[in-house]
Amino acid sequence: MKLSVPGRTAAAAAIAVAGLLTTTAISNAAPAPDAAPATKAAAAPDISVENVKGHLADLQSVADANGGNRAHGTAGYKASIDSLKKKLDDAGFTTSVQEFTAGGETGYNLVADWPGGDEGKVVMAGAHLDSVSDGPGINDNGSGSAAILETALTVAREKYKPTKHLRFAWWGAEEIGMVGSSHYVDSLAGADRSKISAYLNFDMLSSPNAGYFVYDDDPTIEKTFKDYYADKKVDTEPDTEGDGRSDHAPFQQAGVPVGGLFSGAETTKSAEQAEKWGGKAGEAFDKCYHSACDGVSNIDGTALDRNSDAVAYAVWGLSS
Ligand code: DTR
Ligand code: ZN
Ligand code: ZN
């Protein structure tokens, strides 16, 4: 990444790269007397964690009504898709359900476009909506699904008019090998693939013994998330576990810039990590990972709150 731009300070150039201010605002040249005042990009809103928890409660109810899980190929998965689709349709999104086959069962991706913005420059946020068959999948990955859902609903509520085009996606069959997201990427025409300027992935955002991991893939996206946490005085670590392990992988393989957040799965929190993040050293970030106990009580509300706000910060910052 180019770090300096002639005629601008390095800091201003970095802000420009992150797309958070217009070029008018960062020019070193004296403004013409009749120049319009510098305009700042719309500030990202605070996402209501109560609303995010409401979406998690809805997903738990879906699991409870369907044998305790929302796995690929089950009625619980399809009911999860239907529930989200209705919320997004009611808010004014253009939704589509993409079908595919995996393991002999029909799978579904839900894609929601926010009308407007430059369709040649698409900012996408995604999360897998399927659980494993052993449990309701509330941290993995109701949390990412609910955080991007509430971000999308906030876009609608605020009547946000981004410069770029916004697209949100919920993937099926991640747990059996990222089948839904791979199908989506494979079915895009090459020209449409190159219109995606960023894919942001959110898989596990509220691990009960939370860590704050930022994917170290595209530098501009990584910096956007790190700036958010620096402002909140929350330390982050690069995600070293995630490469190839979630739905950003097919996008990355297709040459799309990717980034994302992760609060930890089956590995153990170290003493140093417990020192900076709180929680319990020597215990897994999520001891209910892929288990029946991954229900609504298996969340860290603070991590869910911070990470949901970080989703919105990146969606706004990268699309304005
Ligand atoms: N893909 C996951 C869990 C997972 C494990 N490590 C990472 C790192 C980054 C994102 C996700 C993960 C699952 O759905 O089980
Ligand atoms: Zn999983
Ligand atoms: Zn997951």
**Per-residue model confidence as pLDDT tens digits over 278-292:** 999 999 999 999 999
Q: Is 265 in the pocket of ligand 1 (CB under 6 A)?
A: yes
Q: Ligand 2: distance of its center to the CA of 141 in Å?
A: 7
The residue annotated as part of the active site, out of 50, 99, 119, 174, is: 174
Closest ligand, as measured to the CA of 178: 1
Give, using CA atoms, the residue closest to atom 1 of ligand 1. Answer: 246
Q: Ligand 3: distance of its center to the CA of 205 in Å?
A: 10
Q: Ligand 2: distance of its center to the CA of 293 in Å?
A: 13
Our answer to whether residue 283 is catalytic in this structure is no
Percent of the chain predicted with pLDDT > 70:
87
| pTM to 2 decimal places | 0.88
Structural domains present in the chain: 42-319 (3.40.630.10)
**Per-residue model confidence as pLDDT tens digits over 12-59:** 333 333 333 333 333 334 444 444 444 456 799 999 999 999 999 999
- Residue 200 has a pLDDT of 98
Does pLDDT of 273 surpass 70? yes
Does pLDDT of 9 surpass 60? no
| Three-state secondary structure of the chain | CCCCCCCCCHHHHHHHHHCCECHHHHCCCCCCCCCCCCCECCCCCCCCHHHHHHHHHHHHHHHHCCCCCCECCCHHHHHHHHHHHHHHHHHCCEEEEEEEEECCEEEEEEEEEECCCEEEEEEEEEEECCECCCCCCHHHHHHHHHHHHHHHHHHHHCCCCCCEEEEEEEECCCCCCCHHHHHHHHHCCHHHHHCEEEEEEECCCCCCCCCCEEECCCHHHHHHHHHHHHHCCCCCEEECCCCCCCCHHHHHHCCCCEEEEECCCCCECCHHHHHHHCCCCCCECCCCCCCCCCCCCCCCHHHHHHHHHHHHHHHHHHHC
- The protein residues having their C-beta less than 5 angstroms from ligand 2 (an ion) are 140
- Residue 52 has a pLDDT of 99
**Per-residue model confidence as pLDDT tens digits over 235-244:** 999 997 767 8
